[in-house]
Amino acid sequence: MRPFSHFGSFVAALAAGLALAVAGGVSYLASAPTIPAQDVIKPPVRAHTTASTLSAWRVPDFGNPDGHAFVPPAGRAVDTSHPDQVIGRGTPAGCTSAAVVRAVARGGVITFNCGPRPLTITMTATAKVVNTRHRIVLDGRGLITLSGVGRRQILYMNTCDKRQILTTSDCFDQQWPQLIVQNMTFSGGYSAVRENPNANFGGGGGGAIYAEGGQFKAVNSRFIGNRCFSTGPDLGGAAIRALAQYRNRPVYITGDTFRGGRCSNGSALSSIDVSWYVTNSIMINNNAIGWGANPARPGTPGGGSGGAIYTDGDNYKVVIAGTVIRGNNAREGGGAIFFVVDNNRGTLTIRDSRLHNNPSRGFFTPGYPGIFYHSSGHPIVIRSTIS
């Protein structure tokens, strides 16, 4: 079993009440951050705005319409013109939770034929990927919402789940299954699983989607009002929790919208030892509601970091490109992004993006409002604004 607890001594210093670490350290505050001029480390930030900047701005349905960042081929939508399975026969009648669960278990390319109007399918059970399947693609053509109605996780993949067949000798590093969701909406997902030191990576998280092992990406999709358990130092991912991705290939988040997530940490995205490539997306009004940080301060349950994104572990990279992260909140550190690489071998790159009004109620890295960064060097910021 691989350890799930990370980032000990650094945040422990914060827990001891350190007000400000020296030489590019961290500010620890009781309320919304204000940075004394003498403590600010100037980041290499250059203004970058567009005509539709956030005045009179509403959340787009799918991704950032002003995001024009290059999307690597691996991060793009896949062809679903010849599906292996079609859910429905032209009306909503056959588009049920049971049909979705069966289709996901069978795998292959899955599309929907539920009529010409948008349809919400209330999930009465979690759809679970079977480890022996190679590729599972869900394509809603922009019309289908899968709803957990605030009661259950919507989609689950776990190559190390002992209730399934383990297909390789190392369940943490295998190429398959590959799970792809595109042109879908996931709403009201909820994971009630608490963090457990005896589980892989602590367990829990992934209110809408839990993806441990194999490969995962989300394209042109929405994640609205998803939740996971409210406390735990490393538990996170109200929308997506990703772990143990094959050969540390990145999880691709392309043209997606994340809104209204609530979890202990990382209320859009959360991971341990996972790289991410986030392009042309929107993250707004997501809240990390745990408290006590990581490791948990005495008398607290831990958590509260990474309002939108929480990443931890070793040897990983995060790229944010063409993306807006706005109005997210962390009760502890990193109102927008919590980025901790314990062995200092990782980079955070923010390019052609705007991070605005993401308060860190506890701690943050001076000069980078809304970001807590712990690795070598500093975040790489190109043609972006952070305020």
Tell whether the model's pLDDT for residue 268 goes beyond 70: yes
pLDDT of residue 292: 96
Inter-residue contact 330 to 308 (CB < 8 Å): no
pLDDT of residue 55: 34
- DSSP one-letter code for 345: -
Q: Look at residue 277 and give its three-state secondary structure.
A: strand
Selected residue with higher pLDDT from 13 and 65? 65
Q: Pick the range with the lowest mean pLDDT from 33-47, 191-205, 236-250.
A: 33-47
Burial class (CB in 10 A: 0-12, 13-18, 19+), 225: buried
pLDDT of residue 117: 95
Q: What is the pLDDT of residues 69-97, one digit of tens each?
A: 999 999 999 999 999 999 999 999 999 99
Task: Give the tokens for residue 235.
Answer: 């538990």
Please report, rounded to a whole number, the percentage of residues in the chain having pLDDT higher than 90. 75
Q: Look at residue 61 and give its three-state secondary structure.
A: coil
What's the rounded mean pLDDT across residues 297-313?
Answer: 97
pLDDT of residue 59: 55
Phi, psi dihedrals of residue 3, rounded to the nearest 5°: -65, 150
- DSSP one-letter code for 14: H
Domains in the chain: boundaries: 9-18+26-386
Tell me the pLDDT of the chain averaged across its residues: 86
How far apart CA 103 and CA 101 sit, in angstroms, is 6
Which among 157, 310, 159 has a CA at the least distance from the CA of 232? 310
Q: Look at residue 39 and give its three-state secondary structure.
A: helix
Tell me the three-class secondary structure of 98-141, residue by residue. Answer: HHHHHHHHHCEEEEECCCCCCEEEECCCCEECCCCCCEEEEEEE
Q: Look at residue 194 and give its three-state secondary structure.
A: coil
Tell whether the model's pLDDT for residue 48 goes beyond 60: no
pLDDT of residue 60: 59
Confidence of residue 43 (pLDDT cuts 50, 70, 90): very low
Burial of 40-62, coded b for 16+ CB within 10 Å and e otherwise, reads eeebebeeeeeeeebeeeebbeb
Confidence of residue 4 (pLDDT cuts 50, 70, 90): very low
**Partners of 276 in the beta sheet?**
251, 318
Inter-residue contact 223 to 249 (CB < 8 Å): no
Which among 356, 365, 268 has a CA at the least distance from the CA of 48? 356
Q: What is the pLDDT of residues 118-141, one digit of tens each?
A: 999 999 999 999 988 999 999 999
Q: Look at residue 374 and give its three-state secondary structure.
A: strand
Q: What is the pLDDT of residues 5-31, one digit of tens each?
A: 444 434 433 433 333 333 333 333 333
Confidence of residue 62 (pLDDT cuts 50, 70, 90): confident
What's the rounded mean pLDDT across residues 343-363?
Answer: 97
Residue 357: count of CB within 10 angstroms of its CB: 17
pLDDT of residue 58: 55
How far apart CA 278 and CA 374 sit, in angstroms, is 19
What pTM did the predictor assign? 0.86
pLDDT of residue 182: 98
Burial class (CB in 10 A: 0-12, 13-18, 19+), 149: middle
pLDDT of residue 173: 74
Q: For tokens 């590959």, what's the residue?
A: 178
Confidence of residue 200 (pLDDT cuts 50, 70, 90): confident
Which among 381, 372, 324, 360 has a CA at the least distance from the CA of 34? 360
Selected residue with higher pLDDT from 40 and 349? 349
What's the rounded mean pLDDT across residues 218-233?
Answer: 97
How far apart CA 42 and CA 31 sit, in angstroms, is 22
How far apart CA 173 and CA 246 sit, in angstroms, is 5
What's the CA angle centered on 258, arms 257 and 260, to 5 degrees? 140
What's the rounded mean pLDDT across residues 247-254?
Answer: 96
Residue 78: count of CB within 10 angstroms of its CB: 13
Selected residue with higher pLDDT from 167 and 215? 215
